[in-house]
Amino acid sequence: MLSVDFVGLKLRNPVIVASATPSITADAIKRAADNGAGAVVTKSVIFGDANGKPAGNNAKPRFQLYNTPNGYDPRLTEKGGMFSFFRFQEPYPTPEKMARMLDELKGPKGVDIPVIVSICGFTDNYESWRKLARLMEDAGADALELNGHAWNPVVKYSDPTIATVVKNEVKIPVIYKMMGANEDSAKVSRQLVAAGADALTGLGTFGMKAMEVDVESQKPWMEMAHGLGGTWLRAISLAFVAAMANAVDVPISGVSGIQSWEDAVKYILLGATTVQVCAAIYAKGYKVLQEIADGIEDYMKRHDYKSIEDFRGKALANIAASRVNSPPIRAVVTEKCTGCGFCKDCCMFDAIRFADKKSTISEKCDGCGVCWSLCPYKAIEMREF
């Protein structure tokens, strides 16, 4: 019921481990397979740095989960709250190490799920991409995902030439992972597919510097980390994927902010064939993979869907046209109002009066929707007048 065909690979379910620490060693990948993953994308393979030093760096500690002003509370994540996952450095496998991993993973004590190898060449050095692709195909990769992040790490715009160079080199499927949140996802998707990409992953995250400070000790509790995983990017990524799905016919793998079956279903409803999970594994363990797969299955049973294709892309038709020309509307307080007062200070148009533990909204209302969006009891409706 959950099985999908993704670039010709047969997956038992659409839940893929995204490229990062949870797929950095053969043992890690075996744990992912044991915990229900449909496939894995390995941690990105890179050459050592320009001076021949080992790939990446291994600062300790180097990871920071983040969902409160002063750190992380897993109970908020359990309730579906937004969280971010930052990293300060990370080791990367070399091609030699990845070849040894693939030997083990494809051997008798290996895994029976597809292993997609993520490769990341140097910025503006197509030959490095070509060489990595050749080495990884020869080593037994089932497919390649191109990490558009480009090692040093430099956030670059998606580069279709990388897709062409790799596609011309290998016979296995080539997936391009898009990283530029600020690019026109429809236009660039089309360029990448025209350049040879067999599938696209979106939206990968990008390395913005981040810092938080403890005001008592006056020291950063998180220092110069890179914004990476977590739910903070999900809404942006969902919009990115919807535009991709409307633009191209190749399969799409949705990534960013997936920590529950509902998040996965959202991506599929917007056109994704598979979904990739990263930060949720750090926050909840590998078991989250099976939980997400089971949740998708329950959803399908409830809706009487027999396959992922039965509901893939269904939300695309429900995306409303621009709201700019919507009819005149005003906020109206309904009988559900509990008098909590959350809305009383939010109106920039001075339309809300709060008296006798009730809110009323006057004709000054601009219809902007802040109070409607803010009310915890859904007691404010937007009505035409």
Ligand X SMILES: Cc1cc2nc3c(=O)[nH]c(=O)nc-3n(C[C@H](O)[C@H](O)[C@H](O)COP(=O)(O)O)c2cc1C
Please give the residue ranges that form the binding site for ligand X (CB under 6 A). Answer: 18-21, 43-44, 85, 87, 90, 118, 147, 149, 177, 204-205, 228-230, 255-258, 277-280
Residues in the chain: 385
Q: How far is the CB of 42 from ligand X (least distance, A)?
A: 8
Distance CA 202, CA 183 (A): 12
Q: How far is the CB of 265 from ligand X (least distance, A)?
A: 15
Q: How far is the CB of 226 from ligand X (least distance, A)?
A: 8
Q: How far is the CB of 267 from ligand X (least distance, A)?
A: 11
Comparing CB distances to ligand X, the nearer of 280 and 347 is 280
Distance CA 368, CA 365 (A): 8
Comparing CB distances to ligand X, the nearer of 101 and 347 is 101
Comparing CB distances to ligand X, the nearer of 44 and 260 is 44
Q: b/e for 45-73, b at 16 or more Cβ within 10 A?
A: bbbeeeeeeebbeeeeeebbbbbeeeeee
Comparing CB distances to ligand X, the nearer of 35 and 256 is 256
> Is the distance from CB of 176 to CB of 197 less than 8 angstroms?
yes
Q: How far is the CB of 32 from ligand X (least distance, A)?
A: 13
Which is nearest to 105 in space by CA: 214, 97, 135, 19?
97
Comparing CB distances to ligand X, the nearer of 77 and 359 is 77
Comparing CB distances to ligand X, the nearer of 204 and 271 is 204
Q: How far is the CB of 43 from ligand X (least distance, A)?
A: 5
Q: How far is the CB of 123 from ligand X (least distance, A)?
A: 15
Residue type, 234: R
Comparing CB distances to ligand X, the nearer of 276 and 359 is 276
Q: How far is the CB of 257 from ligand X (least distance, A)?
A: 5
Comparing CB distances to ligand X, the nearer of 255 and 351 is 255
Q: Which residue is nearest to ligand X (CB)?
A: 229
Q: How far is the CB of 122 from ligand X (least distance, A)?
A: 14
**Which backbone phi and psi does 86 adopt, to 5 degrees?**
-105, 155
Comparing CB distances to ligand X, the nearer of 58 and 168 is 58
Q: How far is the CB of 215 from ligand X (least distance, A)?
A: 27
Comparing CB distances to ligand X, the nearer of 222 and 331 is 222
